[in-house]
Amino acid sequence: MSSACAVCGSDDLRIKRDNGGAYGMNSLPVGSGKNARVALDSLVCVSCGHVESSISNSDVLGKIASTWDRP
């Protein structure tokens, strides 16, 4: 996540880690079963409203790297 907004350049940003938990709206499907979703970290620019999401869980990133297709 950056320290300045990618759209307007403002440094007036807010971050929320594991935003909503794995069952909230800010989650990404990564498999099937009990742990099928991962919560996303959200970064919001309060100047222009731009939103970025990321995954900070390295175990999940490894799972994605080994099971998802490359573009």
- Strands of 41-45's sheet in order across: 13-16, 41-45, 51-54
| Residue ranges of domains in the chain | 13-67
Global pTM?
0.71
Chain segment 10-19, per-residue pLDDT in tens: 999 999 887 6
Distance CA 8, CA 2 (A): 13
**CA 57, 27, 5, 70 torsion: positive or negative?**
positive
Other beta carbons within 10 Å of 10: 13
Separation in Å, CA 60 to CA 8, 31, 39, 55: 31, 10, 10, 8
Chain segment 22-57, per-residue pLDDT in tens: 556 788 888 777 767 888 888 999 999 999 989 888
